[in-house]
Structure 1
């Protein structure tokens, strides 16, 4: 019964990871620019010897020359990845609230270097610098952006910033050719995974646009995540039953062997 127990244990552990990700996605349903995490599974097969011998001419005889292949599957997590699909835009009317329509990221300076984000809830700090909610400087032309005092602040679709019709800077809006190499750093920021190189490029006009007075909502579908959580919970319970049944059968077999001796 060891095989059934091991399969159930690994299945339950994989399901627990999936449940944790769904719970985290739901916890960030109101986080601006949040991108949900997803996992995919794979089956790891154990093959018998005859599985590797395929008869090239099975039609030569009425009866099969070899037994049918028998495979034992064990579920495993194949990968965890970030879903960077577009979230809906919500109007705020705040001139320093910015959202990206299309692929791309804003760049901000944080401890340890520069990072990427889709959260455009920016504001002007006491020093006149454009910063994030965590007071990290927003980067433009490779450095922090200063917003002088003025009556109106305008940001066009290309990320050009104007104060009273005078240009004061341009946002660093970049695209990442290999977003699978990004990982979450915290504070809704992204950074390269260890040992990877980010292929960064300038966002192309018409494919990525900055929307002033808007914020990007998370791409989390509440109903879908709730259904996933219910399905995952039921799957976890099924694995628990398999482990319980396997344990009971093992106990029964041990007792039978003890009685015979």
Structure 2
């Protein structure tokens, strides 16, 4: 019965992790370029139960056999295996703002931050006081020749990410990167990601790897509110079921203790 407590508690912990992830997804449903997280759980190894009586082997005309019958298997709970990011593309929203850009296809904008180069799908940019193209948090957007500088917002961006002024002068081309294993990128906040050993280093996207640039549009979050609310209801029901399991185990243990105490009086 004590094992039942731990089994129920492990289930509650796993559902709490799922609830935290879903809550974060819902909190960022209006964050441009946000990618939802998905929690994956796995079960602990099952225990194979055998009877204690008649343990050992016995001889028969066809050789030896195990005399301890198998009762069955017992699960001992679950644990959170990992949280991974779903990088599926969000829908595009028309903004009619020239500094807003969306990427159609895989790839990330490169941003210069005090912590080093970071990567994002959030193309909701603006032109700063010094004529630098920046994120809403004031971090410079990088082109292949460095920080992108613009005189005004009268510029065009073609499908390849080349920036052209109103006088048809080429300013730069957006630096867009890809990773060998983008699933293993780490989130940093502000819709930023950074590379890890598992994801591999960033490399500039060229050719078929390069996404299509769409100006005057912004990529929205890929969070589906209805699906996340359904998952939240499932988590609450599963959490309550595990909670009732612990309560039932506690009630049975209490009954056992009372009866044992009554016998020994």
What TM-score does the superposition give when structure 1 sets the normalisation length?
Answer: 0.89
Show structure 1 runs of 5+ residues with no match.
Answer: 51-59
Number of equivalences = 248
Residue of structure 2 aligned with 1:178, choices 160, 178, 181: 181
Specify the SS of the correspondent of 2:93. Answer: strand
Within 1, Cα distance between the matches of 2:2 and 2:49?
Answer: 20
Q: Deviations over 1:211-247 (max 9, x none)?
A: 1111001100111000000010011011110111111
Higher alpha-carbon Rg: 2
Residue of structure 2 aligned with 1:85, choices 81, 85, 88: 88
Residue of structure 2 aligned with 1:112, choices 102, 109, 115: 115
Q: Does 1:223 align with 2:226?
A: yes
Residue of structure 2 aligned with 1:163, choices 157, 162, 165: 165
In the TM superposition, 1:1-261 aligns within 5 A as 1-48=1-48, 67=70, 69-141=72-144, 143-149=146-152, 152-164=154-166, 165-193=168-196, 196=198, 198-206=200-208, 208-261=211-264
The answer as to whether partners of 1:95 and 1:154 remain within 8 angstroms in 2 is yes
CA-atom RMSD in angstroms: 2.1
Show structure 2 runs of 5+ residues with no match.
Answer: 51-61
Specify the SS of the correspondent of 1:77. Answer: strand
What TM-score does the superposition give when structure 2 sets the normalisation length?
Answer: 0.88
Structure 1 residues 206, 214: closer, same or farther in 2, change over 3 A?
farther
Specify the SS of the correspondent of 2:200. Answer: coil
How far apart are 1:196 and its partner, in Å? 4.4
